[in-house]
Amino acid sequence: MHGLDEIFDRSGAVPRPPYAALWREARSLATYRPPAPDPAAMPPGKGHVVLVVPAFLTTDAVTGSLRRFLGRCGYRALGWALGVNWGPTAYALDGLRRRLRQLRALEGGPVSLIGVSLGGLLVRDLAYDRAADIRRVVTLVSPFHLPTASTIEPLVRLAAPFYATDLDFKRLSSPLPVPSSAIYTRDDGIVAWRSCFDAAARGEAVEVAGAHLTMCRNPDALRAIAAALAR
């Protein structure tokens, strides 16, 4: 698994976001602070448990705005509680399975999963093996339709020697055994937006506008997440 050729396209067939888009991403991260949608206008969460997995090199702190919004909608939205997401290390994969067992017990039934960017690959991997414990998977700007292309590929390659050797990346593009929603943006400056959904597979794809790094506080993305969870 340490070779990432099956993950990243090096031929140019998959258009990579321009490196200039990284400046737009950084500016959005610093300045984009829109108000969240009105929770009263969203379908009620009724206490349903939602596990939110953060993006590469981030922690639960970054998904805080998303989880607070879901909390106001009536969900019990919880982080993964595993610190920094370095990618699919054995620690992350094993820890996610333990976390899912904990939250399923809390729910008393299947829970929903939200994965942000690379976190979406981790929750999809989990869904293939733990479908009975999962009600729905929502991926947020997650490049699961491999191969992808990314402006931060060098960072992923630096972390790759620590990744689990038994993770099957090829199956991440195959249809999930649970209902799924993929939210993506053509404005993505981090990953190739075309790899963030699969129009030929089961599950819905929802396009929104906005930067990759601020999806957790993007009002359109929040509305799409609330609508997906309500289904």
Domain-by-domain residue ranges, the chain?
A: 21-230
Residue matched to tokens 């991926």: 139
Q: Please list the pLDDT of the chain residue by residue as tens digits (231 residues).
A: 445 778 899 888 999 999 999 999 999 999 999 999 999 999 999 999 999 999 999 999 999 999 999 999 999 999 999 999 999 999 999 999 999 999 999 999 999 999 999 999 999 999 999 999 999 999 999 999 999 999 999 999 999 999 998 888 889 889 999 999 999 999 999 999 999 998 777 789 999 999 999 999 999 999 999 999 998
Among 3.40.50.1820, 3.10.180.10, 3.90.330.10, 3.40.50.300, name the CATH number for the domain at 21-230.
3.40.50.1820
Contacts of residue 63, Cβ cutoff 8 Å, sequence gap at least 6: 52, 53, 54, 79, 116, 216
How distant, in Å, are the alpha carbons of 29, 79, 217, 220, 223 from that of 35? 15, 22, 8, 11, 12
User: Which amino acid makes up residue 22?
Assistant: L
Q: Are 41 and 72 in contact (CB under 8 A)?
A: no
pTM: 0.96
**How is residue 220 written in tokens?**
């359109």
DSSP state at residue 212 = S
pLDDT of residue 3: 54
